[in-house]
């Protein structure tokens, strides 16, 4: 396979400090939720990962359940790490998570210490590494004391199996409490991973301010609303798109006439900025200094190349922001 990374790979990426930590992460990170599983094409996802690394993407985001089947994205990433990126572990930020259903019985789901610690061990085996850079609690568990879940994250760091910890999908109030607990334990919360896009702006209400105050970084997922905020669905539903795949999380029913009207209008606005809609949607997130990184997905290296160009223009005029807001509120 003989891959040797581009020598100039760090020259065009922007690296942002993650909250109040010492860690810099790229403005664009790559997520392996879809397109890297056992059902996907090896050469295609290998190309995406290599393209990403060559373009200065140092951060690759996994979870125990990514696939399908669950666990296969970690295994596949592990193979590429071993064959292509073996000499580059210290240039990579690899994250994984536990919080959603993984195995039968009472210990394979949610937020207990029992589940999180066992799951991290399994993830490390699948990826074939001794430690992850970031270990996340994937979702808030209202039935487990937050002290227990945060204690498990702290324990993972003390075991040497994670360097930093994060939380994902936690509501604002639970985030504040989690941050306080982790700080007392001596393992500050590095990062929060919420969903955020033009189509889903819940983080703007409270969460982003809390993260700022607490010195927690923010890496946002599904920035393109799983592909809606691109030109992908403007001429119907392509057979190779996420919405057409049986295991895709984007459902055909979500592509309504109302959504398409907004996408068309946003596409026109993007053209006036000399960006594609995908590029504008990513840039629109990065304009906020509280957003440390935008976690994109891609089903081809061409999509990733397009998305990477977003960082060339993350400035918006007041007029542009206003017309985007109006479009998003359009009935
Ligand atoms: P996006 O919103 O970026 O959607 C990615 C999809 O959009 C691609 O698979 C592709 O769809 C389409 N796309 C991407 N770029 C383009 C382009 N330039 N032109 C046209 N279509 C494009 O993100 P994801 O929903 O994939 O989420 C990203 C990552 O966030 C995940 O991999 C995961 O790491 C993380 N995540 C975390 C969650 C959590 O609970 N913490 C939940 C969900 C995601 P197509 O396949 O149709 O080509």
Ligand 1 binding pocket, CB closer than 6 Å: 31-35, 61, 138, 168-169, 193, 221-227, 230, 232, 241-242, 278, 295-299, 303, 306-307
Q: Are strands 24-26 and 93-98 parallel, antiparallel or unpaired?
A: unpaired
Do you know the residue count of the chain? 331
CA atoms within 13 A on the CB side of 47: 13
3-state secondary structure of 149: helix
- For residue 306, the model assigns a pLDDT of 97
For ligand 1, atom 41, name the residue with the nearest CA: 168
- For residue 1, the model assigns a pLDDT of 59
Alpha helices in the chain (DSSP H): 42-54, 72-83, 113-127, 146-158, 172-185, 207-214, 257-272, 277-286, 301-308, 318-329
Task: Provide φ and ψ at 325, rounded to 5°.
Answer: -55, -45
- For residue 110, the model assigns a pLDDT of 98
Domain-located, residue 268: yes
- For residue 215, the model assigns a pLDDT of 98
- For residue 276, the model assigns a pLDDT of 98
pLDDT under 50: residue ranges of the chain: none
Cα 32 to averaged position of ligand 1 atoms, centre (Å)? 9
CB 213 within 8 A of CB 183: no
DSSP letter at 20? T
Domain-located, residue 7: no
Domain-located, residue 70: yes
Name the β-bridge partners of 167.
137, 192
Tokens of 132: 């992850």
For ligand 1, atom 4, name the residue with the nearest CA: 226
CATH classification at residue 195: 3.20.20.100
Domain-located, residue 260: yes
- For residue 331, the model assigns a pLDDT of 79
The residue range of the domain holding 50 is: 15-329
Domain-located, residue 2: no
pLDDT by residue (tens digit) across 31-58? 999 999 999 999 999 999 999 999 999 9
Number of domains composing the chain = 1
Domain-located, residue 5: no
Domain-located, residue 8: no
Closest CA to 327 of 275, 287, 274, 281: 281
Closest CA to 281 of 324, 330, 246, 219: 324
- For residue 174, the model assigns a pLDDT of 98
For ligand 1, atom 17, name the residue with the nearest CA: 303
Domain-located, residue 137: yes
d(CA 159, CA 168): 22
Find out whether the peptide bond into 26 is cis, omega within 30 degrees of 0.
no
């Amino acid at each position: 396979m003989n891959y040797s990374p581009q020598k100039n790979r760090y020259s065009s990426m922007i690296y942002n400090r993650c909250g109040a930590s010492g860690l810099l992460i790229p403005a664009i990170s790559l997520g392996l939720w879809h397109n890297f599983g056992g059902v996907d094409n090896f050469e295609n996802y290998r190309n995406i990962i290599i393209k990403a690394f060559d373009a200065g993407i140092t951060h690759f985001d996994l979870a125990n359940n990514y696939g399908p089947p669950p666990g296969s994205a970690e295994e596949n990433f592990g193979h590429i790490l071993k064959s292509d990126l073996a000499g580059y572990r210290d240039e990579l930020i690899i994250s994984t998570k536990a919080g959603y259903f993984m195995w039968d019985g009472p210990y394979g789901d949610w937020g207990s210490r029992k589940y999180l610690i066992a799951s991290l061990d399994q993830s490390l085996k699948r990826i074939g590494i001794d430690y992850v850079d970031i270990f996340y609690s994937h979702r808030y568990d209202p039935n487990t004391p937050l002290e227990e879940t945060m204690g498990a994250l702290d324990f993972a760091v003390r075991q040497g199996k994670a360097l930093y910890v994060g939380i994902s999908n936690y509501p604002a109030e639970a985030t504040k409490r989690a941050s306080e607990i982790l700080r007392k334990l001596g393992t500050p919360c590095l990062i929060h991973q919420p969903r955020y896009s033009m189509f889903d702006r819940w983080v703007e209400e409270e969460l982003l301010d809390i993260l700022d105050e607490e010195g927690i970084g923010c890496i946002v997922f599904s920035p393109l609303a799983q592909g809606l905020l691109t030109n992908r669905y403007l001429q119907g539903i392509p057979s190779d798109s996420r919405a057409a795949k049986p295991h895709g999380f984007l459902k055909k029913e979500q592509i309504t006439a109302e959504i398409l009207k907004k996408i068309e209008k946003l596409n026109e606005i993007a053209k006036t900025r000399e960006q594609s809609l995908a590029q504008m949607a990513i840039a629109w997130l990065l304009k906020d200094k509280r957003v440390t990184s935008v976690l994109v997905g891609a089903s081809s290296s061409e999509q990733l190349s397009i998305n990477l160009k977003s960082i060339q223009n993350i400035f918006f005029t007041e007029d542009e922001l206003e017309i985007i807001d109006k479009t998003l509120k359009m009935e």
